Amino acid sequence: MPAQDETPAPPGIDVTNPSIARAYDAVLGGKDNYAPDRAVADELMKVMPEIRELAWDNRALLGRGVRYLAREAGVRQFIDLGSGLPTVENTHQVAQSEAVDARVVYVDNDPIVLAHGRAILAENDRTAVVSADLRDPEGVLGHDRVRDLIDLSEPVAVLLVGMLHHLHDDEGPKRIVEAYMDAVPSGSHLFLTHFCRSGPDAEALEKTFLHFLGTGRFRTRDEVAEYLDGLDLVDPGLVYLPEWRPDKPVEYPLSVRERLMIGAIGRKP
């Protein structure tokens, strides 16, 4: 039974099974999700009642990180891999509020992202939404819209925010990260956030993700640090989300929720 305020499904979108993008939208409290997605969000909430706050912690860091990249690092090109459905403070809005000439390409393999993204971006010629599988770096970087907007001889910010934990080990996430970072020049940045294997609560949440969504690989701090190999970490390094250049003082000890994700920005020397 659709919820009363449910957005009708765009043509060609299968809403009989949950999708990562729509389940995340449901966790955030958005409207572009359907009963199977909300069922996943409910299961996650049973195990981690503060999952919504965690998702918003991640969005907040996305904003702080993009602001840093545009304002302090001077980056003008962004590839947002696994961008998800548009919500508030999207990458192009933050980047272009800092630098009007910033160019942003969103990449996601969920057709709902393209359907909703196109509408929101229709009037902005410095932003594009590309439907592609990020596990194919050559295909993504060779895509017409990516080539139109991203000049690979100039520094690029590669965003993998809330994304790499959706890749299983046998999909070669490190090799994928390396392929993108090898393709961009010195002065480029990698910006990532990732679920952290920080204790029993993380393990319970990981099990729920894997059972209901089929992905969600929590990694140790050392495992996540490997994605940043060869890059110069921007201060304060790889830390829990609230600790990365916070807008307000951090209160210690951090809560269980605040220790479920870590994030970092690394600069290619």
Query: Which residues of this protein are in contact with ligand SAM, per CB under 6 A?
Result: 20-21, 24, 58-59, 62, 82-84, 107-110, 113, 133-135, 161-163, 166
Closest separation in Å from C-beta 140 to ligand SAM: 8
User: Own/partner pairs for 49-56, CB < 8 Å, 24+ apart?
Assistant: 50/255, 50/256, 50/257, 51/27, 51/205, 51/257, 52/27, 52/28, 53/257, 54/257, 54/260, 54/261, 55/24, 55/27, 55/28, 56/28
Phi, psi of 263 (to 5 degrees): -155, 160
Instruction: Tell the residue number behind the tokens 């503060």, with chain if given.
Output: 50
Q: Indicate the residue among 111 and 237 with the shorter CB distance to ligand SAM.
A: 111
Which tokens go with 158?
A: 């590669």
Phi, psi of 191 (to 5 degrees): -120, 115
What DSSP element (H or E) covers 115?
Answer: helix 111-121
Closest separation in Å from C-beta 176 to ligand SAM: 9
Q: Indicate the residue among 40 and 134 with the shorter CB distance to ligand SAM.
A: 134
What DSSP element (H or E) covers 187?
Answer: none
Q: Indicate the residue among 208 and 232 with the shorter CB distance to ligand SAM.
A: 208
For residue 183, count other CB atoms closer than 10 A to its CB: 18
Q: Indicate the residue among 31 and 232 with the shorter CB distance to ligand SAM.
A: 31
Separation of alpha carbons 204 and 229, rounded Å:
29
Q: Indicate the residue among 139 and 185 with the shorter CB distance to ligand SAM.
A: 139
Closest separation in Å from C-beta 95 to ligand SAM: 14
Closest separation in Å from C-beta 186 to ligand SAM: 25
Separation of alpha carbons 34 and 26, rounded Å:
8
Closest separation in Å from C-beta 99 to ligand SAM: 20
How many angstroms separate the first and last alpha carbons of the chain? 53
Q: Indicate the residue among 129 and 184 with the shorter CB distance to ligand SAM.
A: 129
Closest separation in Å from C-beta 4 to ligand SAM: 25
